[in-house]
Amino acid sequence: MNIKSKILEFVEGKNKISFNALALDIFKYQAEHNSIYREFLRLSGKLDITPRSFEEIPCLPIGLYKKYEIKSGDWSDGQVFKSSGTTEMFERSMHHVKDIEFYHKLSHSIFKNFYQGDNYEILGLLPSYMEAGHSSLVSMVTHLMSIYNKDKQAFYMYDFEGLHNAVNRLLAQSDKTVLIFGVSFALLDFAESFRNDSKRLKFIFTGGMKGRRRELTYEEIKDELQRVFPSSSIDSEYGMTEMFSQAYTVEGYSGLYLPGKSLRLIPKEINDPFKNARYGKTAQLAFVDLGNVDTLSFVMTDDLCTCYADGSFDLHGRLKDSDLRGCNMLYQS
């Protein structure tokens, strides 16, 4: 059985292999076959380490996705995911994709672990991601639509009236839950003009304000949407271009995110990216993503977080002046 099959079976609960065992196997492979990561390990003095736990594995600074092709092994792109925004605004991170089918299977398996059953009709309100193009989120949501929806594609850009009419039509035609994946600013814009009190309407918001509004906390976004959609459940998704796996908030965790089974978050000391921080302390967020088996599974982000012993985590925005933070060795080499 190949490593991708093992990862999918692990996420689906079909084998007894541990996350740690999979992560250590992937580290051995990537330390040898990912030239950028290998050089990072060499320059960091970590090339010959033998980690006993995924928490001991060094994490590559995420800014290097803007400078290099991060690949493990020798292969040609199937496609490329790019971070949201425009090249006029900033350099876009690129995540090269060898196997889009694996990405879709993994993201669907994670989604199913959080949202059981098949009684969903999924709509998309992701204008900024669609305008920028090459979005991993749009690719994931499109795939979920192909599985759950009677009408496969259902993105509404800035057509809030069209989205409102689609919600009402779907609620009237069946007993399905209507689930809207939306970027935060667009959902708040939608909420300014349209209300709904159905218990079969669910929201999953993601992303920030993209420069369209003042940045709001998770609680502020949820409270504003809950005011207009009082009977709806309102969750949030956390993911990024450089991450094949996702995390979701769920009821009962007070706004904390829970990672998908193929994902683990590691808190790092802000001034020492090789030192793990204590649970419950504000820290720099690093992740281990088994889904990144073809690229790199061990990445240090620019996000601030608080991680907890049960695997849940909270987000506190970005580090300031973080683009070059921790990346100097490879930027200069």
Residue 321 falls inside a structural domain:
yes
Long-range contacts of 307-312 (CB under 8 A, 24+ apart): 307/265, 307/266, 307/267, 307/277, 307/279, 307/280, 307/283, 308/256, 308/279, 308/280, 309/279, 311/258, 311/259, 311/264, 311/265, 312/253, 312/256, 312/257, 312/258
Co-location of 175 and 136 in the same domain: yes
Co-location of 122 and 69 in the same domain: no
Half-sphere exposure of 218 (CA within 13 A, CB side): 21
Co-location of 278 and 215 in the same domain: no
Co-location of 144 and 229 in the same domain: yes
Co-location of 15 and 119 in the same domain: no
Which residue reads 């059981």 in tokens? 116
Co-location of 231 and 272 in the same domain: no
Co-location of 129 and 209 in the same domain: yes
Residue 247 falls inside a structural domain:
no
3-state SS track over 21-50: HHHHHHHHHHHHHCHHHHHHHHHCCCCCCC
Residue 121 falls inside a structural domain:
yes
The predicted model scores a pTM of 0.92
Residue 151 falls inside a structural domain:
yes
Residues 63 and 323: beta-carbon distance below 8 Å: yes
Co-location of 23 and 71 in the same domain: yes
Range of the domain at 189: 115-239
Residues 294 and 269: beta-carbon distance below 8 Å: no
Using only C-alpha atoms, the chain has a radius of gyration, in whole angstroms, of: 20
Quick one: how far is CA 184 from the chain centroid?
15
3-state secondary structure of 321: coil
pLDDT at residue number 86: 43
Which token pair is 151?
Answer: 């009408």
Co-location of 234 and 268 in the same domain: no
Residue 257 falls inside a structural domain:
no
Nearest residue to 93 (alpha-carbon basis) of 332, 306, 327, 261: 327
Which token pair is 254?
Answer: 């007070």
Residue 83 falls inside a structural domain:
no
Co-location of 146 and 225 in the same domain: yes
Domain termination site, one of 174, 205, 239? 239
What CATH number is attached to the domain comprising 212?
A: 3.40.50
Residue 154 falls inside a structural domain:
yes
pLDDT at residue number 253: 66
Nearest residue to 103 (alpha-carbon basis) of 155, 144, 62, 57: 144
> How many domains is the chain partitioned into structurally?
2
Residue 100 falls inside a structural domain:
no
Co-location of 209 and 281 in the same domain: no
pLDDT tens for the chain, 333 residues: list them.
Answer: 699 999 999 999 999 999 999 999 999 999 999 999 999 999 999 999 999 999 999 999 999 999 999 999 999 988 999 997 544 446 889 999 999 999 999 999 999 999 998 899 999 999 989 988 999 999 999 999 999 998 777 999 999 999 999 999 999 999 999 999 999 999 999 999 999 999 999 999 997 655 555 667 888 899 999 999 999 999 999 999 999 999 999 776 677 999 999 999 999 999 888 999 999 999 999 999 999 999 999 999 999 999 999 999 999 888 876 433 433 344 344
Co-location of 184 and 298 in the same domain: no
- CA-CA-CA-CA torsion for 157, 142, 313, 8, nearest 10 degrees? -170
Long-range contacts of 143-146 (CB under 8 A, 24+ apart): 143/104, 143/107, 143/108, 144/107, 144/108, 144/111, 144/181
